[in-house]
Amino acid sequence: MESYAQVLNYAIPFFIGLIVTEAIWAWKKGMAINRGPDIISSLSSGMTNTIKDVLGLSIIIISYSWLVDHIALFEIKATWAVYLVGFIVIDFAGYWIHRLEHEINILWNRHIIHHSSEEFNLSCALRQSISNFTSFIAIFMIPAALLGVPAKVIAIIAPIQLFMQFWYHTRLIDRMGWLENIIVTPSHHRVHHAINPQYLDKNYSQIFIVWDKLFGTFQPELEDLPPVYGVKRQVNTWNPILINFQHIWLLVKDAWRAKSWADKCKIWFMPTGWRPKDVAENHPITVIEDPYSQEKYNPTLSNPLLAWSWIQMTLTLVMMLFMFSQIAAFDFSLILMYGLFLVVSIYSFTTLMDKHGSAIVAEAIRLLIGLFLVYQTGGWFGLEKLFPFAGPMMIGYLAISFLLTIAFLQKIRIENKDRETVAVAG
């Protein structure tokens, strides 16, 4: 846990640097690929996923190390060839996990967050799941386990293979010639993120595009068919925590409403989007059929609210990186509470960007958790050693945040009331 956290302390600033570079490049080219609230939502999603992973809040159904210990036919050393084999096996497993997440109803819930942005840029690559509480990727790595590829090889390669998927989430890089036949490129992945009928459920590969060509899921980007990004059932929120559980909540409601017990059971394992006939008729949902009719989720935010959202996101990011640096110094229960504080913080300011009144409830919970942590740590997790008044500063910040949330919501209520008055008068 500690070593992974330390790696992220370097990786996260690097990724943010690339996002800023892409934004500057797009601005110079006159391309509108970013929206402030969308970037905040994407970065916030990345933080929730990172917190979950660092704290180890997942259940591994079967681990690769267990497989190697029990089914390996050979015992081999970690040579460069073994690392190459390990990388190929991880990429193969990644293709199938990715494909299943798209094609099976219940598994789509753990992947929908990644496709929820209606933009396509480097920041949306950070939209990663917190609803994937179980891991079963090792099942697809049985060939490597049989060969005896050491577990430490997989442990080293897995995060590298994951980080290598970041760069191709961009609209700024066109087709890449002969590389299009070997690796996943931005062009390939633009297709994957599109909701155009011709592009749906295509290009699942993560590093080597050969898997899509081998298993019949490859689709090139067409010159006369620009991709439209997002999901067909729009999420209509900036809150990444809500997005993570939207689909499974729909499945729960559909299973409850279905009259047939067979439908109640099979809905979870049917193709993504399948609904019982009676439920679909009695409880219709809005789905985008024509991608070019898409109206992007874009509530109007005042400049002060948008600026405050940027400040909150930045402070939460800094506090998360500080948490990573203190993981080994404090009891896990306190670190877990710190992680909860950060997640509630994200829930609060992204809900405020949605202009939803429940933001004040989240902010009140955040205030209480924050005060508890100040009391328990005698400051703020060792920060008082650098800044003697860290505790009072944190209390002051939490109080200001709470009061500003009330003020913003009050202004939103007044604006909504004024619009209703104008509408009635009109």
Residue 28 forms part of a structural domain? yes
Who contacts 228 (Cβ-Cβ below 8 Å, separation ≥6)? 194, 195, 196, 291, 292, 294
- Based on the domain organization, do 183 and 332 belong to the same domain? no
Contact call for residues 344 and 316 (beta carbons, < 8 A): no
Residue 320 forms part of a structural domain? yes
- Based on the domain organization, do 195 and 322 belong to the same domain? no
- Based on the domain organization, do 176 and 77 belong to the same domain? yes
- Based on the domain organization, do 210 and 313 belong to the same domain? no
C-alpha dist (Å) from residue 392 to 252, 267, 395, 406, 408: 44, 52, 5, 21, 24
pLDDT at 17: 95
CA 384, 389, 391, 395 torsion-angle sign: negative
- Based on the domain organization, do 174 and 66 belong to the same domain? yes
Burial tier of 71 (Cβ tally within 10 Å: 0-12, 13-18, 19+): exposed
Q: What DSSP designation does 208 have?
A: B
Q: What is the pLDDT of residues 407-417, one digit of tens each?
A: 999 999 998 88
The domain total for the chain is 2
- Based on the domain organization, do 76 and 206 belong to the same domain? yes
C-alpha dist (Å) from residue 51 to 5, 305, 317, 360: 9, 26, 11, 23
- The pLDDT of 259-269, averaged and rounded, is 96
Decide which of 185, 215, 245 is a domain's last residue.
215
Decide which of 194, 215, 236 is a domain's last residue.
215
Who contacts 133 (Cβ-Cβ below 8 Å, separation ≥6)? 57, 58, 59
Residue 267 forms part of a structural domain? no
- Based on the domain organization, do 84 and 205 belong to the same domain? yes
- Based on the domain organization, do 93 and 204 belong to the same domain? yes
The domain containing residue 117 runs over which residues?
2-215
From 40, 34, 8, 127, select the one nearest 314 (Cα to Cα).
40
Residue 286 forms part of a structural domain? no
Residue 308 forms part of a structural domain? yes
Contact call for residues 26 and 110 (beta carbons, < 8 A): no
- Based on the domain organization, do 56 and 199 belong to the same domain? yes
Residue 264 forms part of a structural domain? no
Q: What is the pLDDT of residues 336-369, one digit of tens each?
A: 999 999 999 999 999 999 999 999 999 999 999 9
- Based on the domain organization, do 321 and 181 belong to the same domain? no
Decide which of 167, 190, 215 is a domain's last residue.
215
The first and second tokens of residue 410, run together, are: 């009050």
Q: What is the pLDDT of residues 21-79, one digit of tens each?
A: 999 999 999 999 999 999 999 999 999 999 999 998 887 778 889 999 989 988 888 89
Residue 270 forms part of a structural domain? no
- Based on the domain organization, do 43 and 161 belong to the same domain? yes
- Based on the domain organization, do 330 and 208 belong to the same domain? no
- The pLDDT of 314-319, averaged and rounded, is 97
Residue 323 forms part of a structural domain? yes
Helix (H, G, I), strand (E, B) or coil at 309: helix
